[in-house]
Amino acid sequence: MVIAVPKEILPGENRVSITPDVASKLIKKNFQIHVEKGAGEGAGYTDEHYEKAGAKLYDNVNDLYQSADIITKVQRPLDHPTEGKNELDLIKEGTLLITFLYPLNYPELAKECALKRINVISMDAIPRTTLAQKMDALSSQANIAGYKSVIMCANALGKIFPLMMTAAGTISPAKVVIMGAGVAGLQALGTAKRLGAVVEVSDIRSAVKEEVQSLGGKFIEVAGAEDMQDAGGYAKEASAEFLQKQKDLIFKHVTNADIVITTALVPGRKAPVLVTEEMVKNMRPGSVVLDMAVEFGGNCEVSEKGKVVKKYGVTIIGEPNLPSLVPTHSSDVYAKNILALLEHISKEGKVELNFDDEIVKGSVITHNGEVVQERTKSLL
């Protein structure tokens, strides 16, 4: 089977779905790899790297897509800037598309894939189980986003992170508040601690308290916190009353912080507002807020997607694609997630989708002209 690797067309997207290293491993498993010229350049992988790995290079994206049995991408299909049509219109019937489709956020796109008889595995729908850990691309990308968020905040803050004793006096450590103790939040906590900050973490799931403390963070606990984790390990949607209680407690911590990093996402829903405009108004001038959920509506009321803005003396970073700012390692781990998935669903270079398998059942969104994933189907 032929796996095609197109160049990502979303502005600012530097990642690539298959790296040369993973390409050579897939070739050894009897797949053929076709790569659009320049596909890996943003991530530091040249066309020569792909050729050495045994991949075939393509100038023309239309020819590339027509040659493919499987297409791997990072971003969902978009209008192509040079072809004058959507990427979906370039893909032939029966092709398997593996990408971050986010079907709960874009159910109409899933429907369109089904109408065009394009089979889709969405990498954001991989179940969070022990068996699927190697394929969990949401976690691999969130890990890198958590790291990069702290580096960006440190760069924007007019203070240093660690406690420092100098002849001119003692410098107090920076105070960092992280909202959400998922993969991104815990990585941000670890990174901020390594840089010497005092870190507090808030999460609606009381189950994560021990993890936060084991990494050296202080857990901000809301009185009477209900357990807000679903069976799949994701945060559930909180009640309005609970969110209000959380906001009242958070207000005090946020307004005393030098840096606030928000990471809260609920699959298929607008991100919950955790940092209100009123909180930002009461933060110290020179403080920094980074809203990691800005692509899906934002956790901060005054963040702006794709922009760094200053409001009430506070710098607010609304970078929607943090993993793309660390493209070499983001691509490396994403390609390994795809490799693990392909190893799981194929034999001797042939993909066979077994719907009795929980990973296949959870992550296949469209198959044979139908939307088959129940959660996506319920939105249409």
The active-site residue, picked from 21, 69, 106, 128, is 128
- Residues 32, 293: Cα–Cα separation, whole Å: 37
The DSSP H or E segment spanning 370 is: strand 370-371
- Residues 380, 376: Cα–Cα separation, whole Å: 7
Which residues make Cβ contacts (< 8 Å) with residue 33, sequence separation at least 6? 2, 3, 5, 18, 23, 26, 27, 50, 53, 54, 55, 56
The active-site residue, picked from 79, 133, 227, 284, is 133
Which residues make Cβ contacts (< 8 Å) with residue 252, sequence separation at least 6? none
The active-site residue, picked from 136, 203, 258, 332, is 136
In sequence order, what are the beta bridge partners of 259?
176, 288
Residue owning tokens 């955790």: 274
Question: DSSP letter at 258?
Answer: S
The active-site residue, picked from 206, 234, 357, 375, is 234
Active site residue 234: yes
Active site residue 136: yes
- Residues 141, 184: Cα–Cα separation, whole Å: 8
Residue owning tokens 């936060």: 212
Active site residue 133: yes
3-state SS assignment for residue 347: strand
The active-site residue, picked from 17, 75, 139, 140, is 139
In sequence order, what are the beta bridge partners of 175?
198
Which residues make Cβ contacts (< 8 Å) with residue 378, sequence separation at least 6? none
Angle at 169 between CA 167 and CA 172, to 5 degrees: 130
In sequence order, what are the beta bridge partners of 262?
179, 291
Which residues make Cβ contacts (< 8 Å) with residue 36, sequence separation at least 6? 4, 5, 6, 7, 57, 58, 61, 64
* Ramachandran angles phi, psi of 119, nearest 5°: -85, 135
Contact 239, 133 (CB under 8 A): no
Active site residue 128: yes
- Residues 189, 197: Cα–Cα separation, whole Å: 9
| Active site positions, annotated | 128, 133, 136, 139, 234
